[in-house]
Amino acid sequence: MWFKALILSLAVVAVLGAVAPPAFQISEETSLADILLNSPAFRNAETFNLGCIDFYVPELKVHADKYDDDVKVCQEDYKKGFEGIDATYAFSRNELFDSLRGSCSALLGCDSQTTNSGAFTCLTKTCPDEIKSINKIADNATDLNKEVVEKFNAIETTLLNCQVLAQRTYRTNHGQCLEDLNGCLDDPNWEYPASTALY
């Protein structure tokens, strides 16, 4: 029994070391120890099939690696989408700030008057028109920001859907792999499949 316990410990360490599970999957991933401990095959030295461990540990890692790759693609697509959306509004931003600088220059130009009365008169005449321009800039900025936020929200939803799909695919494949491992452990006649592309 001590020998089987040692084998189990080594198998679990191998699995946990070889498969770096994402945080959401840790409880399921570490359940491999429970599967081995509770397996009838483990309690029966005659049917406990160590070849299964050799075969399915790399398979579990394949699923973990695929999940990592899928999530990376989701994040890269989101980053490209974000940068693309942001870039399309650069011209609009420049236009607004050019207009704002023009209004500010007109208002600040009143400060060049040599007398206080002249400065007050300049502001009295200039402010109403420039305030209209500044209010228009503010309205345009509000509309543009609404468009940008809606587009950002849309790609964030796409990112979330992409991540959820990656997680579901991983859970399905990983769960099937663990199920197959458990069945394999209790099968003294199990042999390595001809192909490793199971899932």
d(CA 88, CA 93): 10
Amino acid 20: pLDDT? 43
* pLDDT single digits (tens) 91-104: 999 999 999 999 99
What pLDDT, on the 0 to 100 scale, is given for residue 46? 58
Three-state helix/strand/coil letters over the chain: CHHHHHHHHHHHHHHHHHCCCCHHHHHHHCHHHHHHHHCHHHHCCCCCCHHHHHHHHHHHHHHHHHHHHHHHHHHHHHHHHHHHHHHHCHHHHHHHHHHHHHHHHHHHHHHHCCCHHHHHHHHHHHHHHHHHHHHHHHHHHHHHHHHHHHHHHHHHHHHHHHHHHHHHHHHHHHHHHHHHHHHHHCCCCCCCCCCCCCC
Identify the weakest region by mean pLDDT among 11-20, 72-81, 100-109: 11-20
- Measured CA to CA, the distance from residue 186 to residue 137 in angstroms comes to 73
Give the pLDDT band (50/70/90) at residue 155. Answer: very high
**Range scoring the smallest mean pLDDT among 51-60, 73-82, 188-197:** 188-197
Mean pLDDT lowest for which of 30-39, 73-82, 117-126?
30-39
**Average predicted confidence (pLDDT) for the chain:** 81
Average pLDDT over residues 104-128: 96
Give percent above pLDDT 70 in the chain: 72
Domain ranges of the chain: 2-185
